[in-house]
Each structure stands twice: as C-alpha cells, then as structure tokens.
Chains A and B, each alone.
Chain A
C-alpha cells in the first residue's frame, strides 16, 4: 500500500477546484473592469478612475455612460451569465445527463412565454396588481412560465425513477413548439412599441439593461444562485441513481423539487431581462467537468464564475463586431456554442444513451 499523506488523496480534485474558483474570481474582476471600459463612446475608464481617486467630480458624459449605461449592463451580464451556467449544471445533475439545458428542453421557451404574456397583457391587469408588481411583473411571470414547463417536462421524461434523455429532448421540442405557438398568438395583440421590444428581446441581448430592470431581476437570480450550493450533495448522490441516492440518506423528492424551483427562478429571471441566450448552460459546466470533475460542491460555484466571465466576453464581442450597431448576444453565444455542443455530442456518442 502507498503511504497517503492526510491532505492529499489521489482522485480528490477539490484542491484543483479551489484554485480554479480563485483564478476565475480574479478573471471575473478583470473582465468586468475591461467590459466597463469597453465601448464605442469616447469615455475613458482610466480617466474616470483618476477623477474618482483625485476626489474630482466625474465628467457628465463619463457618469452617464459608465454608471447609467455600462455598469447596469455589466452587472446584468454577471447575473445572467452565472444564472444560465448554474441552471445548466443543476439541470444536468437533476436529469443525470450532460446535455440537459434550460434552453434546449423548453424551459427558456416557457419562461419566454411568461415574459411575453406579461409584456403584452400586463397593461390589461387591474391597476392595483400591476402597480404592486411593477418591474417585477415580467421576471415573476417568466419564473412561473419556466417553473411550470420544468415540472411538466420532468413528469413526462421520468418513469419509475428513471429519466429518459430521448423523451426529455423530444418533449422539450414539443413543449417549446407549443410555447412558441401560444407566444405567436399573444404577439398578434402587441402594439408596435411592444413588438420592437419583443423582437430584440427574442434574439437575446443585454442592451436593454438598466437599473430598474436589474433591481427587479437580480434579487431573484442572486437568491437562486445563493441557494444552488445547498443542492450540491443531493445532486452528487443523484448521479448514483434515484434509489441509491435515497439509500445514502438524501431526501430525493425534496432535492428534485428544489432543483426545479432553483432552475426556474434563475432561468426565468435571466430570460425576462435578456431573452434567449443559448448554450452558456451547456458549454460552461462541460468545460469545467473536464478540468475539476463533476462534484457539484465545486462545479456550481465555478460554473457561476465562468458563466459570468463568458457572457461578459460574449457581450463585448456583440458590442464591437458591427459597431456602432450591436449584434444580439444570443447570436454570439450560438456561433460559439453551437459547434461546441456538436463536439460534445460527437465525443459522447457512444456513451450517452440517446
């Protein structure tokens, strides 16, 4: 037998995962700062920082561009990127399959339908209700749409404790089609201004980010993200199968319910403010599993950080490639994420039971 020092166990990747979390945190700060200074206007971040450090008032243009336009957008990018990646990782753990993703299996479509209903029909709500919900109306409606879709999907795809991937993907396509059809009917009732909003939103974009939207959606996303690590041990055990997870002491039904709620909240709020941004939820957890392994206690934290970094980078690309116009970020993530998804599929063709 090999002597084993107490702080190192072969096959234990938690040290690597810790270093990864640290590195990604640093990277996130760097990318967020870069993103704040990135853009078409003549605003200079170093000048603004210099002004701040010297105790001078910011130039009006700097203040507007940095604080009112870019800062909420960067913060939104962080929240949405983390939400998408963590939702993907949790959903993959729940369905025990690396291809499960809220965007692929119709959860985003359900959240989208909720958001569209809120945008178009929100005006017809009794004033008291609309006033009470205010900016929260759209994220909450999206959350409810995403939640219902996930529940239905799980019911359809799971029989006798076993989740069929084929059923899940096909049911997701059917659900997404139904949602889109209903959304199409609802959109017929939209006026021109609403229509413009909806089109841009549908492609996925952070361009609409502002403080009120951020303040409405971010608390939901942050609450869901803070809750996610509590699912980690349950998701690890679920990898053994539902029955075995119960035998190691996990309350399986509770973990499943909570995971579905968490995914719906994070995806719903994210979709409400940024539309359908695809592939982050698949690409980020998959890359991380290759390096730090699938232990959800580390995977979820790292997925949040890397998801935020990736979305900020994608947003910077979307802001510059056709400047001064803007490419919707959903297109950027699809261009990079689509081929990556196919690569995962080809690599795992023999292993996945599809």
Chain B
C-alpha cells in the first residue's frame, strides 16, 4: 500500500531529466522531495502522478498507475498543481467542487470544511479571480483536499501529491498548510510534497528525497539527509545545519566569511 517508483527515466526532448530514480513513499508519512532548481523535483512529481509517461513502473497501492482508469486514480489521489491559473470567473465554491463533481459526486457538504481547513472560511462566495495568489493557492488545495477528503477509505490509503504547496504563502499559512498535510499523513493518508523550504521540510517531513541532476542522491529521515555535507554539495553553496533543543533541526545559509 505504498507509492513506488522503480528506476524511472524521463526524457523531455533531448534532455534526460530523470535518470533512474527509485522512490518509495509510505502512507502515514509525509515524503518531501527537495533539491536545487532544475534538479528534476517537479518532473519526478509529474512522473509519480502519471502526468508524464515514463519508462518503468509507478505503482500506487499496488496498482500500475498507467493502467488505472482516470476516475479510479482520481479517487485514490489528489494532485495540487504548481500553477493556480483558472480560465473563467468561477466562485470559490465552484472551484472546490470541480474535483468531486468531475467524477459525479456531490461535494456541497465538504466545501465549507475544506475551506476552513485551508483557513479560508467565509470565502465561498468570492470570485476566484479576485483573490490574491496565496489565497488562490489555498483554494486549489481545498479543491484537492475535497477530492480525497478521507485519508483512508475502503480501498486503502489515499494520497495528497503537492507540488510546492507553500510557494506563494505567508509564513502563517505555510505552517497552516504543512500542519494540514502532516495531519493527513498522521490519519493514515500518504503525502508527497515538492518543497523548496528546507526548514519547513525539517520540521514536518517524515522522509526526505534529495534530487540532484535528475537523480535521487539521498533518501532518508530529515536528520539523515539534511546534513552540512549533503546539502552543501547538492545546492553548491555553504550550508550549515543547526539544531534547536527539543525542536529539531534548521538550516541556515552560511554566508561566506
């Protein structure tokens, strides 16, 4: 009942963007994918969601995702895209409902709960296009959350696949969203998130996958992966990892002295 990718390769044009990446993400855990720009984080996410066809297999709860009907896949996992663009003036309620209604289910009861979960209570009647970028990103998260509301159902764990879920959020809402994802995992669901912020990763992730030049160069718990040597090498700059007693670790860029 895991999300497993074995030795996957992705070519985009002439570029060999993923060069044999193997990943296991388990339900009950938040797995963070980190790495420098252009290291293949988003490509890995797109391969894991089935958006990019890749050589070799990606399995979700034991099923080959390439062979799953889209409806079944949509019932198993929700995907938060990086872009929050929307082409018509939908209200917030209408956006949140789209995910469930696409497969013919009523979502009205979930709308207020999903909006509260992303700290947007009372936004249901607002027009999506009139919201700020951060608010739009949280509406999209509410939509994805409504799509797979219960972390576990009769068919096993469900999954949240989040591509940079906190990229345009203020610090309070970064924490709101990370807590939400961690809580989803704690209740038995699986969470896979592409992350830029190493400190939030250290605080909330259970597993970290570090990407570099199309390969997963390190995988493990945050203390195992987020070390001075591994990070400095991967990001190509001096980074020092510190620890706060009882709080865990945090990373500071080590300014050239």
Measured CB to CB, the closest approach of chain A to B130, in angstroms, equals 11
Query: Given contacts A233-B101, A246-B51, are A239 and B90 in contact (CB under 8 A)?
Result: yes
Cα distance A281–B3 in the bound complex, in angstroms: 46
Mark the stretch among B80-88, B196-204, B233-241 that contacts chain A: B80-88
Mark the stretch among A3-11, A66-74, A325-333 that contacts chain B: A3-11
Cα distance A239–B89 in the bound complex, in angstroms: 10
How many inter-chain residue pairs (CB < 8 Å) link A and B?
A: 100
Determine if A229 is an interface residue (Cβ-Cβ < 8 Å): no
Determine if A127 is an interface residue (Cβ-Cβ < 8 Å): no
Determine if B219 is an interface residue (Cβ-Cβ < 8 Å): no
Cα distance A293–B98 in the bound complex, in angstroms: 14
Cα distance A119–B78 in the bound complex, in angstroms: 52
The reply to whether B93 and A10 contact each other, CB–CB distance below 8 Å, is: yes
The reply to whether B103 and A248 contact each other, CB–CB distance below 8 Å, is: yes
Query: Given contacts A237-B98, A239-B87, A293-B91, are A247 and B103 in contact (CB under 8 A)?
Result: no
Q: Please provide the chain A residues from 96 to 116 with a CB less than 8 Å away from any CB of chain B in the complex.
A: 96-98
Query: Given contacts A237-B102, A249-B73, are A12 and B86 in contact (CB under 8 A)?
Result: no
Cα distance A4–B71 in the bound complex, in angstroms: 30
Q: Closest residue of chain B to A290, judged by CB?
A: B89
The reply to whether B126 and A11 contact each other, CB–CB distance below 8 Å, is: yes
Determine if B70 is an interface residue (Cβ-Cβ < 8 Å): yes
Determine if A294 is an interface residue (Cβ-Cβ < 8 Å): yes
The reply to whether A247 and B98 contact each other, CB–CB distance below 8 Å, is: no
Determine if A2 is an interface residue (Cβ-Cβ < 8 Å): yes
The reply to whether A97 and B102 contact each other, CB–CB distance below 8 Å, is: no
- By a CB distance below 8 angstroms, the chain A residues around B124 are 9-11
The reply to whether B89 and A250 contact each other, CB–CB distance below 8 Å, is: no
The reply to whether B108 and A9 contact each other, CB–CB distance below 8 Å, is: yes
Q: Which of A4, A234, A244, A294 contacts B79 (CB 8 A)?
A: A244
Determine if B20 is an interface residue (Cβ-Cβ < 8 Å): no
Determine if B22 is an interface residue (Cβ-Cβ < 8 Å): no
Chain A residues close to B by CB (< 8 Å) = 1-2, 4, 6, 9-13, 96-98, 233-234, 236-237, 239-241, 243-251, 289, 293-295, 351
- The contact sample of 11 A-B pairs, CB cut-off 8 A, is A1-B121, A12-B91, A236-B101, A244-B81, A247-B74, A247-B81, A248-B103, A248-B147, A249-B70, A293-B90, A294-B94
Chain B residues close to A by CB (< 8 Å) = 46, 49-51, 70-71, 73-75, 78-79, 81, 83, 85-94, 98-99, 101-104, 108-109, 111-112, 116, 121-122, 124-126, 129, 147
